[in-house]
Amino acid sequence: MEKKRDGFASKFGVIAAAAGSAIGLGNIWRFPYVAGENGGAAFILVYLFFVVAIGVPVMLSEFTIGRRAMANPIGAFSRLKPGSKWYLVGVMGVVVAFMILAFYSTVASWTMHYTYLAIANAFEGKSIKDLNNMFEAFHTSAVMPLFWQVVFMVLTAAIVLAGIEKGIEKYTKILMPLLFVIIIVLDIRAITLKGASEGLAFLFHPDFSKITSATILEALGQAFFSLSIGMGVLITYGSYIQKDNNLSNVAFEVSFFDTLIAVLAGIAIFPAVFAFHIEPSAGPGLVFLTLPSIFQSMPGGYFFAILFFLLLLVAALTSSISVLEVVVAYFVEEKNMSRKKATYIATASIMVLGVLATLSFGPLNDVKIFSKTVFDLLDYASANIMLPLGGLFIVIFIGWIMPRKEVTEEISNGGNLKIRLFGLYYFIIRFIAPLAIGLIFLNGLGIL
C-alpha cells in the first residue's frame, strides 16, 4: 500500500506557509530601501499593480502545476509532460533553491548576530561611524558569521525535518502571527515619533514625476522576486495543498499578505528615518547601520531594536524553510531517501556553498569567478538569470503546453468552483506574463 503523502492540514496552514515563503528579507530589508530610492508612494502604486496583474497569475500557475502533479518541481514536470525535456525546468528550480539558500543564509546570519547585539544592548553610545566599523568587522570576519550561519541552518533544518504538517505548517502558524504582531508594534512606535508625518507622506503621497522606465522595471522585478516566483517553492508547496482548497484565493491571499508586510515594514522604517533626518535612499545599510543608530536615539529604543531584528530573523526563517523544502522534497521523492537523510544531506551540502558565500566578504574576498565573489555570483546568477528563466518557462508551460482543460479543471477543483476571470488569467499567462518576465530578464542582464 502506498504511503499517504504529507501535506497541509488546514487552509490557514497553507496561507501561513506560502505567505511565510514569500515574506522574507526582501520585504523588510530590500523593499523599504528600493521604495526609498525610487520615490516612495509612486513606486508602491506601480509595484501593487504588478503584484495583481503579473504576480498573482504566475503564483497561481505554480500552485496549479504543483497540485496537479502532487510532486516536487522535477517530478511535477516529469508527470505532467512525461518523456519530454520539461523536467529540466524543475531541475532549474531545485538548483536555484540550492543557490539561493546558500547566500540567503549568509544575510540571515547577519540578522541573527544583530538580534544578539540588540539584546546585549551593543548599539548604545555608538556613532554611525562606530556602527559601520562594527558591521565591517563582523561580516568580514572568518568566525562569527559562520557560527551564526550554522545556527540558522540548524534551526531551518529542524523545522523541515519534522515534515509538512508537524513541521513547516505547525511552526509557520506560530511564526507568521508573531511576525505580524511585531511589525504592528513597531509601526505604532514609528508613527508616534515626532516628525513621523514626513515619513508617512513619503510613503503614501505619490509623486508621479519620479516614475521613470527604470522605476517601472524595478517595481516589476520587485513584485516578481518578492512572491518567491520561479524558484520551485510555490510548485512544492502547491503539491501539499489539499484538492478542496481554492487555489485562486490562496494566490490572492498570499500576495496580499506579502504586500501588506512590505508596506508595514515601510511604515515601521520611514517615519523613523525622517524623524531622525536620515536619507531614505540609504540602501541596504539602512538596516544594519542606520536603524541601530535610530533605535538608540529614541525612547524605548532598546526594546524596539530587539523587536525589529527579531522580525528580520522570523522573516528569514519562514523563507529559508520553504527553500530548503524544495531540495528535501526532491531527495525524498526522486531519490527515495527518508526525510531525515534528505534533510541532513540537503542542509550539509547547502552549508558548504553557504560557507564560501559568507567568507567571500572576508578571507575569500579576492577569490573571483567571472569578476564576482562567490556571494555576488550566486546572487546575480539566481536573481538575474535563473529565477526569470524559471518563471518564463512556467508561464509558457501553463499557457502553451499543459492542456487548457487540465488547467481549468485544477483551478476549478474539478469543476466545483466558478472561475469568473479565467479568460483574463489565461490571456495574461499566455501573452502578458512572458513579455513582462522577458523584460525583467533583459533588465537583470543590463540590456535594458
The predicted-structure confidence for 240-264, as pLDDT tens digits, reads as follows 999 999 999 999 999 999 999 989 9
Give the mean pLDDT of 97-119: 95
Instruction: Say what the pLDDT of residue 28 is.
Output: 81
The predicted-structure confidence for 205-222, as pLDDT tens digits, reads as follows 888 888 899 889 989 988
Instruction: Say what the pLDDT of residue 2 is.
Output: 45
Q: Please, which residues have CB within 8 angstroms of residue 440's CB and are 6 or more apart in sequence?
A: 217, 220, 221, 224, 388, 391
Give the mean pLDDT of 107-125: 94
Query: Distance between CA atoms of 289 and 135, rounded to whole angstroms?
Result: 7
- Across the chain, what does the average pLDDT equal? 92
pLDDT of 345 higher than 70: yes
**pLDDT-derived band at 31, boundaries 50, 70, 90:** confident
Kindly report the CATH number that applies to the domain delimited by 11-444: 1.10.4160.10
Instruction: Say what the pLDDT of residue 1 is.
Output: 37
Chain center to CA of 372: 23
Chain center to CA of 342: 23
Give the mean pLDDT of 395-409: 97
- Spell out a b/e string for 13-51, using b for 16 or more CB atoms within 10 Å of the CB, else e: bbbbbbbbbbbbbbbbbbbbbbbbbbbbbbbbebbbebb
369 phi/psi in degrees, rounded to 5: -125, 120
Among 380, 404, 403, 396, residue whose Cα is nearest residue 435: 396
Which one-letter DSSP state was computed for residue 279? Answer: -
Share of the chain above pLDDT 70, in %: 98
The predicted-structure confidence for 150-203, as pLDDT tens digits, reads as follows 999 999 999 999 999 999 999 999 999 999 999 999 999 989 988 889 889 888
Residues in the chain: 448
More confident position, 429 or 211: 429
Instruction: Check if the beta carbon of residue 392 is closer than 8 Å to that of residue 438.
Output: yes
- Spell out a b/e string for 114-148, using b for 16 or more CB atoms within 10 Å of the CB, else e: bbbbbeeebbeebeeeebbebbeebbebeebbbeb
The residue behind cell 511576525 is 179
Instruction: Say what the pLDDT of residue 38 is.
Output: 83
Instruction: Say what the pLDDT of residue 45 is.
Output: 92
Global pTM value: 0.94
The predicted-structure confidence for 37-48, as pLDDT tens digits, reads as follows 788 888 999 999
